[in-house]
Amino acid sequence: MPELPEVETIKNDLRPMVEGRRFTGVTFFWPRMVLQPSAEELCRQLPAKRIDEIARRGKHLIFRLKGGESLVLHMRMTGSLLLRDRNAASPETDRYATAIFELDNGTELVFSDRRKLGTASLVKDECELECKLGPEPLDPRFTSEVFKERLSRRKAPIKAALCEQKLIAGIGNMYADEALFAAGIHPLRPANSLTLAEIKKLHEAMRKVLVQAIGNAGATFSDYRRPGGEEGSQQDAFSVAHRGGQACKVCSAPIERIPVRNRGTYFCPRCQNSATCS
């Protein structure tokens, strides 16, 4: 699933090539991906609108348009946004295309989504998105004190809490697992049981993991690709995520995989001792 580092990479790759361009057309092969207004209405409204800025909020990619509206894309499980010349069709890309956005310079953005879970919305006010999301983990205003306050009311396992977008925006399975490993915290620990020292350690680990992943253009395990089709490389640096059964890079114990609130979760049973779980 594209998480914060993957969507940040997509944003960074697209900005110099797409900002200032205008949409000239859009085709939806999976109209149900449009949450608002409707696929038919979005096809009518989007052409001729200028892209003033591309931004990210949590796992959402935002095209801020001249006039104040925003096109919000959510990749969800298997989505990728690929930029190509309009005449350079790719059978593999088109096989999973749910939408194609045409631009005024002869290029197009292909929303490729094997599981058809990604969404598109045209909103008049980004507050519609803001009210659903917590703070950005890399925002300087998101301090360890703010983190502590937000965890204090959560009895859920810390792994589940980190993936809750209303608590913190942008973190999902992979980077929650990596941050918890780096902080030495078991994923089943109740979120409100963490000490201040543990919270500070997790806060720092979370930031380091995300910054490193952005530097490595995200992680590719199956579907995620950068707009040019390249893969990310963060998966090569993972300590526990998607490494079930392999030796821990620190202590050599086998990495375990357990479900936490229906999410596959990877951890080291030795480095992340379970003695304090309840």
Per residue in 84-123, pLDDT (tens digit) is 998 876 666 688 999 999 999 999 999 999 999 999 999 9
- Hey, what are 269's tokens? 């049973």
Q: CB neighbours (10 Å) of residue 131?
A: 8
Residues of the chain with CATH 3.20.190.10: 4-130
Q: What is the pLDDT of residue 82?
A: 96
Q: What is the pLDDT of residue 278?
A: 52
Between 59 and 92, the more confident residue is 59
Give the lowest-confidence range in 37-41, 77-81, 85-89, 113-117.
85-89
Task: Write out the two tokens for 187.
Answer: 């994923």
Contact in structure between 187 and 272 (CB atoms under 8 Å): yes
What is the CATH topology of the domain spanning 4-130? N-terminal domain of MutM-like DNA repair proteins (3.20.190)
Other C-beta atoms closer than 10 Å to the C-beta of 232 total 21
Residue 276 has pLDDT above 60, yes or no: no
Residue written as token pair 């620190």: 250
Q: Is the pLDDT of residue 274 over 70?
A: no
Residue 137 reports pLDDT greater than 60: yes
Active-site residues, by number, are 2-3, 59, 263
Q: What is the pTM of this model?
A: 0.95
Strand order of the sheet with strand 97-103? 23-28, 97-103, 107-113, 79-85
Mean of pLDDT over the chain: 95
The 8-class DSSP code of residue 263 comes to E
Contacts by 255-258, CB closer than 8 A, 24 or more apart: 258/187, 258/188
CA-to-CA dists, residue 55 to 108, 115, 117, 151, 272, angstroms? 18, 24, 21, 27, 35
CA 136/CA 101 separation, integer angstroms: 28
Kindly indicate whether the domain formed by 144-267 is annotated with CATH number 1.10.8.50. Answer: yes
Confidence of residue 277 (pLDDT cuts 50, 70, 90): low
| pLDDT tens-digit series, residues 246-269 | 999 999 999 999 999 989 999 999
- Give per-residue pLDDT as tens, 160-216: 999 999 999 999 999 999 999 999 999 999 999 999 999 999 999 999 999 999 999
Q: In b/e form, how buried is each residue of 137-154, taking b as 16+ CB within 10 angstroms?
A: beeeebeeeebbebbeeb
Whole-angstrom Cα distance, residue 138 to residue 270? 29
pLDDT of residue 221: 85
Cβ atoms within 10 Å of 113's Cβ, excluding its own: 24
Average pLDDT over residues 49-75: 97
